[in-house]
Amino acid sequence: METSITAPSRGSAHGDGLLGRDVSAFVPESADVPGLIEMAPAEQDVWDRAVQHLHVRDNDVHTTYAFGIAKALLEVVDGARAEIVLPAILLHDTGWSRVPEDQVLEAIAPRPRHPELVRVHEAEGARIARVVLEDLGRDPAVVDEVVDIVAGHDSRPEAMSPSDAVVKDADKLWRLTPHGLATVQRWFGLRPDQALRLVGARTHAYLHTEPARAMARALAAIASIDHSPQRRALDAQVAQ
C-alpha cells in the first residue's frame, strides 16, 4: 500500500510554529550574535537631530538602512573611522529637505530634468551637518571631515578616504536591499525585474570597497531569485 507524504506548508505558523514545541529558550542574546546593528547613544544623538530633515521621498528609512550597512562595512574596511562614517551617513541626505519635494525625483531619475539639484542637496546637507555636529560639541576636525564627505557624497566620483568610501558604498548598497528595490519600483513605476536591472546598472560599477562589491552581488542574487520564474512557480503551487 502506497503512503502519500504531504510537504509542510510554507505559510505562516502560529503558536509553537510548525515544529509544535517552544524553542525560544534556546535563542541567544543579541550580544552573542555577530552582525546585529543598533544605534549607540552618540549615534542616536545625531539621528534625533537629523531625522527632522529626512522626511522627504523615503530618505528617513533609507538612512536607517544605509546606517546599518555602514556599520557592517566598518567591521571589514581597513582605515574607515566610525566617528566619521556614522554621523556622515546619518546626515548625508538631510539636504533634500531644502529641495522642493516635487522636484526630488527629477533630480535622480534616469535622464534627470534637474540634475543640478543633486549638488544643491549636498551643499545644504553639508551646512546642516556642520550645525548638528557643532551643536553636539564634536571635535572640529571630525566635523570638518564629515562636512567634506557630505558635500560630495553623490557628485564626487572618487573617495577621499576609507571613511568616505564606506559612506558612498553604504548609501548605494541600500538600492539593492528589499526596501531599496521596492522604493525605486514605486518611484518610477517599474516592474520588480526592471527596478533590479536599473539599480544594478547604477550600483555595482560605482562601489569603492571589495566588501561592498561582495554585499552588492549577494543582494542582487537574492533579489534575482525572488523574481525568478522558478520561485514564482513555487509560490503559485503553495497558493493553490
In CATH, what number is assigned to the domain containing residue 141?
1.10.3210.10
Decide if 14 is inside a domain: no
Following DSSP, what letter does each residue of 58-118 receive, concatenated? THHHHHHHHHHHHHHHHTTSTT--HHHHHHHHHHTTGGGGGS-HHHHHHHHSSS-S-THHH
pLDDT at 66: 99
Counting the structural domains of the chain, the total is 1
pLDDT at 136: 99
Decide if 93 is inside a domain: yes
pLDDT at 115: 96
* Percentage of the chain modeled with pLDDT above 90: 91
Decide if 2 is inside a domain: no
Question: For residue 130, is pLDDT > 70?
Answer: yes
Decide if 4 is inside a domain: no
pLDDT at 54: 98
- CA 81 from centre of chain: 19
As a whole number, mean pLDDT of residues 105-129 equals 98
User: Mean pLDDT score of the chain, rounded to an integer?
Assistant: 94
pLDDT band at 15 (very low <50, low <70, confident <90, very high): low
As a whole number, mean pLDDT of residues 35-50 equals 98
Question: For residue 142, is pLDDT > 70?
Answer: yes
Decide if 138 is inside a domain: yes
pLDDT at 8: 45
Q: By mean pLDDT, which of 12-16, 141-145, 230-234 is the weakest?
A: 12-16
Decide if 237 is inside a domain: no
Decide if 3 is inside a domain: no
pLDDT band at 16 (very low <50, low <70, confident <90, very high): confident
pLDDT at 14: 54
Intra-chain end-to-end CA distance of the chain, in Å: 27
pLDDT at 30: 95
Question: For residue 6, is pLDDT > 50?
Answer: no
> Structural domain of residue 144, as residue ranges?
40-225
Decide if 196 is inside a domain: yes
